[in-house]
Chains A and B, each alone.
Chain A
């Protein structure tokens, strides 16, 4: 079922997103699996890109950071898009948004490892080919994202772009607040730890 969905997402994305709300069409664990696969693809890309194109050695790759790089956009997009669409009369439920967002990683999962393997056969002179394919993948993903928002929420194209801008803005706010919170919590923990140490010294 997952494989058929992936194929449909690549070949007929519009039909696929139209069908996504039908019961029994998609499973939530498929979405998690796709995100895990995307993280794996990213790791593979970082570690095995040919030396002509990247000087990153496998030991330089920070695994938790790279996983976050895939995981965090997915979750924060889903949350913010859900919040924005709730105000803007979107049709999609949170579950639909979460799953359909994960399917945007499909071109990344399939083409990045292929492109990475290709870099081991290309030289710097063929860099333009590499860059075209590289950015082509991201353009494709952007196209999928736009279609996803439009179809899942049943929006007009103008409203789709408006929603996307608002969602990105919402993500920025979300991240700002989270980082702020993290800083404050860190400070608070340090304070309590200092108090604890002080007490232990006095006793």
Chain B
């Protein structure tokens, strides 16, 4: 008995003495999806580092904060919705400035979004005041953009600005909750300049059949069905606008060009986020993408609020990492609503229910993937081969690496090797292309044998027919002979 006690004491002591890296695994297991959408365990690309909340900053706790913006100088702007203010602070949590006056025109009411221009002007989506409020970098209120007036807008148009960006010309793109026509485009004077990049209602057979059977009254109700509005938007350094949409199952993330065309999913539909959804009370729990951020290399990080996970994609939409989950441990989220990225590659996630900001740092494996992916996306397949091979050594489940190496080998005309990599990556189409080249090569190399075989087959056929003919002739002659004899 005594011995056993000692053993447990020792075990406990060891537990406390073990260094921090011994449990740096994180609260979640990284995974990916393969070509057939099977889940594959993977190495984590991001790990939880630390958190910041109102207490750490020496101010009262955040109340239902809804948006986080990381500026180019890595200072952060937090929309503290419940406290009607926007807080600017540095990465150590030192408060630099508060936006939102106590009285007058500069008073915010339930703001839900913020955008900061390169010159430091702060644009706040002052949601309950139904306007956009602009502050100078020193915190003084400059002007506001009230609800736009235009014959293009319906009379009962409800304006609920929740998120916005300002482009280089000073045009505002505003996501308004429930506005199905798209993003509102305002010029620097505040004049409405039209809608931008609307979602579409998806046609499906069920709806067509229902419409066919429905009475006039029911049809009227059906006609009110609207495409979903955008939940968030982000502008990258090239000027593309990325949007997220809640309530659809496909193409929840879009990259809109200057004319509002989705360039991320051209002519395809793709389900972002988790491929297998949980059910709750008998219905599917749809992923809800509430925010997206894109770095200067085009790597897209999107936040699914329902499953509490970050999904990172490369510029072409290949899944790189899945990070996080729902829960109470550090690294998991209660209700994550916003995500942004600092210049050092750290990802900041705002947890609304907890009222705190979690920082995630990239792992060495993640860095390697980014290095390889950057080369690969830009078309430097050969240069990317070495880092991809390193990744394969670290994580043999990483099918993107197999695929990329296959592409490099294909370019180097090593077709049979490329075939084996494409096969590992489960890329049937590319395997087939490599095989076509391999077959050509094989036939060319062994042409003599093929030619000889063909000649042999042809002459054998000839000989066989000649033999058959001769036998027939003999039979005929024999028959004629018999006939003659009979006569």
Contacts and interface: CB of A to CB of B under 8 A. Distances in A.
Interface string A107-136: 000000000000001011100000000000
Contacts of A124: 428-429, 432-433
Interface in A45-60: 51-55
B35 interface: yes
Interface of A: 51-55, 121, 123-125
A1 to B, nearest CB: 27
Given A51-B423, A55-B426, A123 B432 contact: yes
A153 to B, nearest CB: 39
A10 B79 CA distance: 78
Contacts of A53: 428
A54 B35 CA distance: 13
A53 B436 CA distance: 13
Given A51-B428, A123-B432, A123-B433, 15 more contacts: A51-B423, A51-B431, A51-B432, A52-B428, A52-B431, A52-B435, A54-B428, A55-B35, A55-B428, A121-B439, A123-B435, A123-B439, A124-B433, A125-B432, A125-B436
Nearest 4 pairs of A and B residues by beta carbon: A52-B432, A124-B432, A123-B436, A123-B432
Interface in B1-56: 35-36
Contacts of A54: 428
A157 B301 CA distance: 65
A51 B422 CA distance: 10
Contacts of B429: 124
A53 B432 CA distance: 8
A50 to B, nearest CB: 8
Interface of B: 35-36, 423, 426, 428-429, 431-433, 435-436, 439
A121 B439 CA distance: 8
A92 B431 CA distance: 51
A53 B428 CA distance: 7
A158 B429 CA distance: 45
B90 to A, nearest CB: 51
Interface centre among A52, A54, A124, A125 (most CB of B within 10 A): A52
B219 to A, nearest CB: 35
A55 B429 CA distance: 11
Nearest to B35: A55
A124 B429 CA distance: 7
A124 B432 CA distance: 6
A179 to B, nearest CB: 23
B423 to A, nearest CB: 6
A55 B34 CA distance: 12
A55 B38 CA distance: 13
Contacts of B426: 55
Nearest to A121: B439
A53 B423 CA distance: 12
A129 to B, nearest CB: 14
A51 B431 CA distance: 7
Between B36, B423, B431, B432, the greatest number of chain A beta carbons within 10 A of the residue's beta carbon is seen for: B432
12 contacts: A51-B428, A51-B431, A52-B431, A52-B432, A52-B435, A53-B428, A54-B428, A121-B439, A123-B433, A123-B435, A123-B439, A124-B432
A55 B439 CA distance: 20
A47 B431 CA distance: 17
Nearest to B436: A123
A52 B35 CA distance: 14
Contacts of A51: 423, 428, 431-432
Nearest to B426: A55
A105 to B, nearest CB: 29
A198 B35 CA distance: 48
Nearest to A127: B432
B36 A55 contact: yes
Nearest to A53: B428
Nearest to B423: A51
A19 B109 CA distance: 92
A52 B435 CA distance: 8
A202 B436 CA distance: 70
Contacts of A123: 432-433, 435-436, 439
A76 to B, nearest CB: 30
Contacts of B428: 51-55, 124
B192 to A, nearest CB: 50
Contacts of A125: 432, 436
A53 to B, nearest CB: 8
Contacts of B436: 123, 125
A125 B439 CA distance: 13
Instruction: Output the residue of B35, B428, B433 with the most chain A CB within 10 A.
Output: B428
Which of A53, A54, A124, A125 gathers the greatest number of chain B CB atoms within 10 Å?
A124
Q: Which of A51, A53, A125 has the most CB of B within 10 A?
A: A51
Nearest to B429: A124
Contacts of B431: 51-52
Contacts of A55: 35-36, 426, 428
Interface centre among B36, B426, B435 (most CB of A within 10 A): B435
Contacts of B423: 51
Contacts of A121: 439
A169 B36 CA distance: 35
Nearest to A120: B435
Contacts of B432: 51-52, 123-125
A42 B55 CA distance: 67
A177 B420 CA distance: 48
A124 B436 CA distance: 9
Contacts of B36: 55
